[in-house]
Amino acid sequence: MSVTGGGTPGFTAQSKPDLRLAKYSGEARFGLQNLIDPEAIGCNTAAASEQLLSLVRASVAASTWRKYESGWRAFCNFELDSEMYYEWPLPPEAFRGFAVWCFATKNLQPTTIKAYVSALKFAHQLKGLQAHDTKNDPIYQLIITGARNLGFLQVPKPSLRRVVTFPLLLTLGHRIADTNWNPIAKQVIWSAATTAFFSSARLGELLATTPTAFDPVADLTWSDIDFSGSSVLIHLKVPKSGDKEGEFLDLFPFDGYNCCPVKALKALWLKQSAAGLPVQNDPVFRFESGRNLTPRHFNEILASLLADICGEGSVISCHSFRAGVPSTLSTFPELATSDDIKGWGRWNSECYNRYTRLRLDQREKIFSKIADALRSVV
């Protein structure tokens, strides 16, 4: 399979910064945003209306807009199926009927139903209307409780996602080495894998969203990586937690198994520089073609390289790396405490400012426990 993101053979254009990919944006990017009525909210001039639209669009993250839009589309389908078209603000019957339809017709879980109902409440906000209070609606609450209780009677589906263990990481490394990919492609995939595994990071926070563009405000670039000393400090500018100051990940040397994340990142930087790729303010995990590694592309590569290991019905994906170190530590309670497991690799701004690099030795002690546990399973 292609590891450069597919597309036209010989593609060499560099990925470009694109602020439209930002987590928060005042640009119109989602259909649900068309519900915003500036006049209903009190804006009487074109300039004021445009300012209001921009602020409301930037009020929630792009991922939240997508979730709300899913709920909104579901409600539109509910009206079509039931041939009931409600006036706004929606009456209690609309919320109740929608919840029943989600469970009985779409077989959705109570948590998803509540999320979709939250989308309806948000739609009311966009229209400048007061939504029905479902928390104080006894009938709605009985519907959700009933859906939850009936869900207990269903046989739970086993988790299909496999955890990337340390032995599996080593296997992945051997298979990457055996491919006919060019050296930079191999290094991109391997450095992404080792960084995600040893830092317990979400790959969605490390990789670019699209192959041909990136968000300079949120996506990880080389300027966010500090190679001072023997360790590496990674600054996640816009983590999933939403911390405005970002979060920090530590990587430490791990010798003896040819899978050191520090060496892998340094080698990637050297290979990209030697190939003439601009670094510093550009995405870290980028191929020689200039295209970025994305979570979707990484999942495709994992499925291809580890097809025989996954087995029927199981999946090894980006999410599989996050639980690798914690799951290993949990099997060696004598080596690490629950606080070590919970806190590994994730330092918010407050913690970082409190401990500073002067307390680097404390984090190294935690990693030494991790290293001991990993060496015990191979």
Which CATH number covers residue 133?
Answer: 1.10.150.130
The range of the structural domain enclosing residue 293 comes to: 166-375
Same-domain status, 255 and 322: yes
Domain assignment present for residue 37? The answer is: yes
Find where tokens 């090894």 sit: 316
Say yes or no: 81 and 143 in one domain.
Answer: yes
Distance CA 134, CA 345 (A): 39
**Which range has the worst mean pLDDT, 182-191, 200-209, 290-299?**
200-209
Inform me whether the pLDDT recorded for 182 exceeds 80: yes
Same domain, 208 and 142: no
Q: What is the pLDDT of residue 210?
A: 86
Q: Are strands 213-214 and 225-226 parallel, antiparallel or unpaired?
A: unpaired
In 162-171, which positions are buried (b, 16+ CB within 10 angstroms) versus exposed (e)? bbbbbebbee
Does 161 fall in a domain? no
In a domain, 11, yes or no: no
Q: Which of 10-14, 228-232, 289-293, 354-358 has the lowest mean pLDDT?
A: 354-358
The answer, yes or no, to whether residue 191 has pLDDT greater than 90, is yes
Report the interhelical angle of 138-152 vs 92-104 (nearest 10°). 10
Q: Is the per-residue pLDDT at 320 higher than 50?
A: yes
Structure tokens at 207: 């990789």
Helical residues (DSSP H) of 58-88, grouped into ranges: 62-82
Q: Would you say residue 371 lies in a domain?
A: yes
- How many angstroms separate the CA atoms of 313 and 315, rounded? 7
Radius of gyration of the chain (CA): 24
**Can you give the CATH number for the domain in which 287 is found?**
1.10.443
pLDDT of amino acid 12: 45
Which pTM does this prediction carry? 0.67
Lowest mean pLDDT among 49-58, 66-75, 203-212: 49-58
Residue 279 lies in a domain: yes
Residues 184 and 146 in one domain: no
Q: Which residues pair with 225 in a beta bridge?
A: 234
Mean pLDDT of 7-21: 48
Task: Let me know if residue 195 belongs to a domain.
Answer: yes
- Per DSSP bridges, beta strands 232-236 and 247-251 are antiparallel
Indicate whether 217 and 290 sit together in one domain. Answer: yes
The rounded distance, in Å, linking the Cα atoms of 200 and 198 is 6
Q: Are residues 360 and 217 in the same domain?
A: yes
Q: What is the pLDDT of residue 215?
A: 81
Instruction: State yes or no: pLDDT of 353 exceeds 60.
Output: no
Question: 129 and 244 share a domain?
Answer: no
Residue that is last in its domain, among 128, 152, 176? 152
- According to DSSP, the β-strands at 213-214 and 16-17 are parallel
Query: How high does pLDDT run on average in the chain?
Result: 81
| SS3 at position 213 | strand
Instruction: Give the helix ranges, DSSP H, for the chain.
Output: 38-41, 46-57, 62-82, 92-104, 110-127, 138-152, 166-177, 183-199, 203-206, 261-274, 295-305, 307-310, 324-330, 338-343, 349-355, 360-375
Q: Is residue 133 located within the same domain as residue 176?
A: no
Q: Is the pLDDT at 186 greater than 70, yes or no? A: yes
218 shares a domain with 363: yes
Domain end call among 91, 122, 152: 152
Residue 205 sits in the same domain as residue 145: no
pLDDT at residue number 338? 59
Asked whether residue 131 is assigned to any structural domain, the reply reads yes
Examine residue 5 and state whether it is found in any structural domain, yes or no.
no
Residues 79 and 220 in one domain: no
What span, in angstroms and rounded, lies between the C-alpha atoms of 119 and 125?
A: 10
Last residue of a domain, one of 152, 181, 212: 152
Residue 133 vs residues 118, 120, 137: alpha-carbon distances, Å: 11, 11, 7
| Number of domains, the chain | 2
**Shared-domain flag, residues 148 and 181:** no
